[in-house]
Structure 1
Amino acid sequence: MSGTTRRGQDQGRDRDEEGRARNARPRDGLGRPLPYGEPGVDRQPEGVVRAPEETVAEAQALLDAGRPFHAHEVFEDAWKAGPDAERGLWRGLAQLAVGLTHAARGNVTGGARLLRRGAGAVEEWAAGTGTPRPYGIGLAELAGWARGLADLVERERTPVDARALAPRLRGTGPV
């Protein structure tokens, strides 16, 4: 059988406690897998339920540290665990963080596209709910930041510094 079970599952695959496939390779600050044994950054735990204010604070700390991929995971937790009425907000914020991730990795097309998609999503959510500053997040300012960064990424066509260009969720402009 050479390393497989009767069900065809590879026994050498990384799995979590419940037996689900889960890549255990270390990751860099932008979420890219590194070779086994290399030092990486701590991964964000998945499925954590946080109060919205905690979500915003934790995501901001990760953005400030130049770790937008990890901030995206925090927003994704809120998107999956939060009330249905806020799913569009958290999904849009996750798209902005992953757009910054792609831009920092040098993926011009993907980065610009996700930044613009996330900007549209948070604006659409704000318009639909009449809530322009949920949890103190300036959605109009954040959308403006995202579109400006998308333009920069397309113009410069080089990876951006995620830490230097991180947004202020509760304010304007990069840190």
Structure 2
Amino acid sequence: MSSDRPHSEEPTHHLEGDLPLPAELPLDSAVAQQPVPLGTQMVRFVVTGGLSAIVDFGLYALLYAVVGVHVDIAKAISFVVGTTTAYLLNRRWTFRAPPSRSRFAAVVVLYATTFAVQVGLNSIMYSVLPDEWWRLPAGFVVAQGTATVINFVVQRAVIFKLR
């Protein structure tokens, strides 16, 4: 089986040892070959992170305050949705990287790490801050800010250099 099969083909069976690519749109190869300067990557990463944080916090607040989901479960669900949004946008726009099984696997490991950091910090902040209106957003900002720094450094230095 060739690893250069078109993305739109049906995935092969796992028994053949070829895992399917994650469901993503392919990147135009002419665009992918144009390097993105560090400054542009940083700006795009912040914009993507801002949008993803809106998705994350919006869902978190909705699940917790409106639906009544436990704070840690609400944060866990919103983290998964927010980071999936961030990965898809960063892969295509910020770093212009083509789909890759090794990159996707590395992102899963990174996001598992930042998941633990973010949910853990959010839980700590929620338990130590006073029961005021700003407790939920303050804990979110501390946890999100820490995860954002970790994500940018690891994605730029490692993940989007993988093929």
Same fold (TM over 0.5): no
More helix by percentage: 2
Structure 2 length normalisation: TM-score? 0.33
Structure 1 length normalisation: TM-score? 0.31
